[in-house]
Structure formats: structure tokens, C-alpha cells
């Protein structure tokens, strides 16, 4: 067998995945492939010149994808593993007519919403030997299960597959626009390529271009009305555009195809919750839980709906169940804290907020919420420290300045409260509620004329602001008194 570019395979991976990749390497060797694997072929000396040379002599570049390899959504484009990222950039510069990049997933992983994960051409984790046989045949090797099997794709089909593989690689590298450009190239050749339309829809979703995503997904559904993944993605996009009824319809289509999909039942529940149909939302969440009782997010969302129905004990039980499943989710601790705060269980609320902050110490909103509870618990110093911590993280966080002002106002510290409220008005000058509170603080400081000016501004913005009206009347009636 030739050792040149015709059939050599370069194996690229994240270092955390070495044990699994060793199995892939050994599987390829058994199937007659010539594989360059750094643990076997990398010599002493500088790493980059060696892999550059090895990639240049290869025909195929296998990217072994995993959660360790992929950067999380919102990070810079590229792969998380530095060496994998450098190898991929070298591979991209190889001549397209002589070189093929092939993504192969070692586990179920994706860059964005887990509900949008697609089955790819080469999902090794689903059927190791079957997928390796398919890959080997397409790269000039042999199938262990069927020694007579051959690659029967036409040259046109091979070209389309190469574009699909490259588009997938760019997608997983976080270069979504480049991936879409490759998918558009496929669609220019075959406008009925359902998979290309679906990948384009998912990519547009990841870019938050939801209307365009729906257009692409409608193309998929025009070709195949039974594509549940397209219905799910369309439902999610419609929900994010505020069309909850349209989202529910799409989720129902997906559930008709796959009635045991817990994730879709949860998504339907979220849309019902957003419409204020909390009992129906709980019914959807319960159906999801009958399928999968170990999904923390379903329990969390059920808790939200129960809280809306003022079923606080049941909501707390749902949050506790979610935390039993995933005790390291800061948002669940925060929601538990908020519910306990609402029930005036301040020590327990503080404990929950502290758990959240241990996991996610730079969440400014959690600092605001725990600051408010400290204030309600006669711990002014700790309250102000919490608000200041929130403002260190986000100096323009309106709710932090407003809550700080409210706590100071409740403690009779009117001058510091006014300074906090002034910061609110710099961010939101038409905040009638804060203008009313400024009027109250100024009145307490016997600065009645200034108080009336603030109250008049509040009433100009909200003529039905009863508290401001009552305070204005009171100030006018006592204008001549020395102190309010």
C-alpha cells in the first residue's frame, strides 16, 4: 500500500481523549489504513514542523471531536485543545482537491443548544466498529464486517460529502459563517439536499438569526415533513421570536413523530409557561419526567410553573429535586434562594445564594439578591458589601443601584440612598418609581421643594402613581412645617 498522500490518514484529537483515540488508531490499522498518530510517529524535537510535514503528506485529516475539544458557545472560534487547533489550521491550508477533513465524534457533543444536536456522518460513539468500517472503506481501507465492501459513491457524491465534512469541521471550530458558505455551495449544486438545509438552519440559529433559520428549516420540512429535528429547531426559533403558539405547534409535530422525547415535552412546557398556561405547562413537564426523571432542567422549569401558581412548597420540592440531580448548577441554587426569600425564610435563602455564588462568584444578579436579603435580615454592612460586589462586576447594573438605594432608604440613610438613586437615573432617567423614592427621601430630609420637583417628574411619567400623588398632597399640606 502506498505511503503517499493517496491514502495516509492524520489523526488529530484533544489530549484528554487519548485512550479512546488509541482505540480508533488500532481500529484503522486493522482495517489496512496508513495512519499518522503522534504517540507512534512523533519524534524528539519541535512539534509543529513535524505535524506540518505529516499533514502535507496525508490525504485525510480526521478530527476526533468531543466536549474536551470543542470550545463553548460564546468563546473565540477554534478548538479548545491548542495542539488540535493548530493542526486544524494547518490542515485547512492544504489543497482542497487532494485533501479531505473528516470530523468524527467520540461522544455526543455540540457547540450550542443540546436540543439541536444532529447525528453526523461519523458518530463513533454510537457504533464503533460500524462507523470505523464506513470510514475505512471511504478512505481506501477495508471493512472488517464485510471484506468485499467497496466505496460505491460517485465522484459527485464524494465531492458533496467532502463539502459536508468541511462544513461540519468549520461548525465545530466555531466558524459558523464559513460553515454556512460551504453549505450554500452544496445547495447551489443540489437545492434538495435536506441535510445541508438542516445544518444551515442550525447554524443560523446559533448566530441568533432566527427568522432565517426558520426559512432554512421550512426547506427541510418541504422535502421531508417527518424530520423531527427540523420541527424541534423550528419550535425553538419560533419561541425565541416570541411566537409561542407557533412553537407549540412545531413541538407537537415533533412529538407526533417521537412521543417519547423528554426534551421536546420540556420545550413545549416552556412555551406554555411563557403564555401563562402554567397548569398545561406542568402537565407537559410531568410527561417529560415520566420519560426522564433525571433531567434537572425539567424539574427546575416545573418549579417555576408551580411558583407562578403560588404552590411554593411544591415548587421548593421541585428545586430540591433538581439540585439532587445537579448540585453544581448555580442557577438552580439561585432560584431556590429567591423562592425562600419570597417565603421570608431569610437564613435558608442566604445559604442557597451562597451556594450559587460558590459556583458562580461573578454573577452580579445573585450578589444583588443576597444583598437584598441581608438588608431584610438587619445586616446592613453585609448588604452594602454585596451590592458593591455586584457593581464591581457590572457598574451599570440598574437593579444593583436601585436595590442599594432601597435598603439604605429603609434604614433611614437618606443621603446615601439619594446617591444610589441618582446613579439609577443616569442609566434610566425615566424611572418614575425611583423618582418617587427620591421625592420621599428628600421629604424626609426636609428638602420639600426638591421633593416636589422629583414627585412632579414622577407623575409626569406616570400620572396614576398613587404613592407619589399622596406624598405630593402631604408635602403641600405641610409645606410650612419645619420638618416632614
pLDDT (0 to 100) of residue 3: 44
- The verdict on residue 276 lying in a domain is no
The answer as to whether 79 is a domain residue is: yes
For residues 385 and 471, state if they share a domain.
no
Do residues 447 and 404 share a domain?
no
The last residue of one of the domains, among 413, 443, 466, is: 413
The verdict on residue 466 lying in a domain is yes
In total, the chain counts a number of residues equal to 484
Instruction: Looking at the structure, tell me whether residues 7 and 126 fall in a common domain.
Output: yes
Q: List the CATH number of the domain containing 363.
A: 1.25.40.10
CA distance 22 to 36: 12
- Based on the domain organization, do 180 and 62 belong to the same domain? yes
Residues 333 and 436 in one domain: no
- Say what the pTM is: 0.82
CATH number, residue 152:
3.40.50.10140
Final residue of a structural domain among 413, 440, 461: 413
For 463, phi then psi, to 5°, come to: -60, -20
Same domain, 408 and 435: no
Out of 124, 155, 190, a domain closes at 190
Task: With respect to residue 274, please indicate whether it lies within any of the assigned structural domains.
Answer: no
Within-domain flag for 287: no
Task: Classify residue 320: in a domain, yes or no.
Answer: no
Domain that holds residue 179: 1-190
Residues 362, 460: one domain? no
Same domain, 361 and 467: no
- For residue 205, is it within any domain? no
- pLDDT attached to residue 89: 83
Domain count, the chain: 3
Do 404 and 462 fall within a single domain? Answer: no
Q: What is the pLDDT along the chain (484 residues), one digit of tens a residue?
A: 334 456 899 998 888 899 999 999 999 999 999 999 989 888 887 888 888 888 888 999 998 888 887 754 345 555 666 677 788 888 887 877 788 888 898 988 775 555 555 556 688 988 999 999 999 999 999 999 999 999 899 989 888 988 998 898 888 888 899 999 999 999 999 999 999 999 999 999 999 999 999 999 999 999 999 999 999 999 999 999 999 999 999 999 999 999 999 999 999 999 999 999 999 999 999 999 999 999 999 999 999 999 999 999 999 999 999 999 999 999 999 999 999 999 999 999 999 999 999 999 999 999 999 999 999 999 999 999 999 999 999 999 999 999 999 999 999 999 999 999 999 999 999 999 999 999 999 999 999 999 999 999 999 999 999 999 999 998 888 865 555 4
Co-location of 35 and 113 in the same domain? yes
Q: Is residue 275 part of a domain?
A: no
Query: Within this chain, do residues 365 and 479 fall inside the same structural domain, yes or no?
Result: no
pLDDT score, position 169: 85
3-state secondary structure the chain: CCCCCCCEEEEECCHHHHHHHHHHHHHHHHCCCEEECHHHHCCCCCHHHHHHHHHHCCCEEEEEECCCCECCCCCCCCECCHHHHHHHHHHHCCCHHHCEEEEEECCCCCCCCHHHCCCCCCECCCCHHHHHHHHHHHCCCCCCCCCCCCCCCCHHHHHHHHHHHHHHHHHHCCCHHHHHHHHHHHHHHCCCCHHHHHHHHHHHHHCCCHHHHHHHHHHHHHHCCCCHHHHHHHHHHHHHCCCHHHHHHHHHHHHHHCCCCHHHHHHHHHHHHHCCCHHHHHHHHHHHHHHCCCCHHHHHHHHHHHHHCCCHHHHHHHHHHHHHHCCCCHHHHHHHHHHHHHCCCHHHHHHHHHHHHHHCCCCHHHHHHHHHHHHHCCCHHHHHHHHHHHHHHCCCCHHHHHHHHHHHHHCCCHHHHHHHHHHHHHHCCCCHHHHHHHHHHHHHCCCHHHHHHHHHHHHHHCCCCHHHHHHHHHHHHCCCCCCC
Same domain, 180 and 119: yes
Amino acid at each position: 500500500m502506498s505511503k503517499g498522500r493517496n491514502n495516509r490518514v492524520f489523526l488529530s484529537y484533544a489530549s484528554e481523549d487519548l485512550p479512546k483515540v488509541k482505540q480508533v488508531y488500532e481500529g484503522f490499522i486493522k482495517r489496512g489504513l496508513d495512519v499518522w498518530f503522534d504517540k507512534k510517529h512523533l519524534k524528539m524535537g519541535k512539534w509543529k514542523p513535524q505535524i506540518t510535514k505529516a499533514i502535507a503528506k496525508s490525504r485525510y485529516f480526521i478530527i476526533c471531536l468531543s466536549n474536551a475539544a470543542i470550545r463553548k458557545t460564546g468563546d473565540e472560534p477554534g478548538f479548545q485543545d491548542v495542539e488540535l487547533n493548530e493542526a486544524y489550521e494547518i490542515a485547512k491550508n492544504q489543497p482542497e482537491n487532494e485533501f479531505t477533513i473528516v470530523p468524527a465524534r467520540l461522544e455526543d457533543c455540540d457547540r450550542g443548544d443540546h436540543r439541536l444536536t444532529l447525528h453526523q456522518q461519523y458518530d463513533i460513539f454510537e457504533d464503533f466498529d460500524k462507523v470505523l468500517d464506513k470510514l475505512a472503506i471511504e478512505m481506501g481501507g477495508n471493512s472488517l464486517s464485510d471484506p468485499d465492501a467497496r466505496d460505491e459513491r460517485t465522484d459527485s457524491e464524494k465531492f458533496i460529502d467532502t463539502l459536508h465534512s468541511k462544513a461540519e469541521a468549520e461548525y465545530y471550530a466555531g466558524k459558523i459563517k464559513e460553515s454556512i458558505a460551504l453549505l450554500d455551495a452544496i445547495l447551489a449544486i443540489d437545492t434538495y439536499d435536506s441535510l445541508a438545509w438542516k445544518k444551515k438552519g442550525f447554524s443560523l440559529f446559533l448566530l441568533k438569526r432566527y427568522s432565517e433559520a426558520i426559512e432554512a428549516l421550512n426547506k427541510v420540512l418541504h422535502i421531508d415533513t417527518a424530520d423531527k429535528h427540523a420541527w424541534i429547531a423550528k419550535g425553538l426559533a419560533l419561541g425565541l421570536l416570541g411566537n409561542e403558539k407557533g412553537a407549540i405547534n412545531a413541538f407537537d409535530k415533533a412529538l407526533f413523530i417521537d412521543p417519547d422525547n423528554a426534551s421536546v415535552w420540556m420545550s413545549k412546557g416552556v412555551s406554555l409557561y411563557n403564555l401563562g398556561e402554567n397548569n398545561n405547562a406542568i402537565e407537559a413537564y410531568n410527561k417529560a419526567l415520566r420519560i426522564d426523571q433525571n433531567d434537572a432542567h425539567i424539574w427546575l422549569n416545573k418549579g417555576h410553573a408551580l411558583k407562578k401558581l403560588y404552590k411554593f412548597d411544591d415548587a421548593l420540592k421541585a428545586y430540591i429535586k433538581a439540585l439532587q440531580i445537579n448540585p453544581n448548577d448555580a442557577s438552580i441554587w439561585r432560584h431556590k434562594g429567591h423562592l425562600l426569600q419570597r417565603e421570608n425564610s431569610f437564613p435558608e435563602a442566604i445559604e442557597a445564594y451562597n451556594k450559587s455564588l460558590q459556583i458562580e462568584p461573578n454573577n452580579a444578579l445573585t450578589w444583588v439578591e443576597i444583598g437584598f436579603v441581608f438588608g431584610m435580615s438587619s445586616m446592613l454592612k453585609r448588604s452594602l458589601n454585596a451590592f458593591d460586589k455586584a457593581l464591581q462586576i457590572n457598574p451599570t447594573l440598574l437593579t444593583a443601584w436601585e436595590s442599594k438605594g432601597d435598603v439604605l432608604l429603609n434604614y433611614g440613610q437618606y443621603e446615601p440612598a439619594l446617591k444610589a438613586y441618582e446613579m439609577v437615573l443616569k442609566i434610566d432617567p425615566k424611572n418614575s418609581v425611583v423618582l418617587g423614592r427620591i421625592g420621599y427621601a428628600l421629604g424626609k430630609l426636609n428638602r420639600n421643594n426638591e421633593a416636589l420637583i422629583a414627585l412632579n417628574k414622577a407623575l409626569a411619567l406616570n400620572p396614576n402613581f398613587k404613592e407619589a400623588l399622596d406624598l405630593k398632597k402631604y408635602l403641600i399640606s405641610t409645606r410650612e412645617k419645619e420638618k416632614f
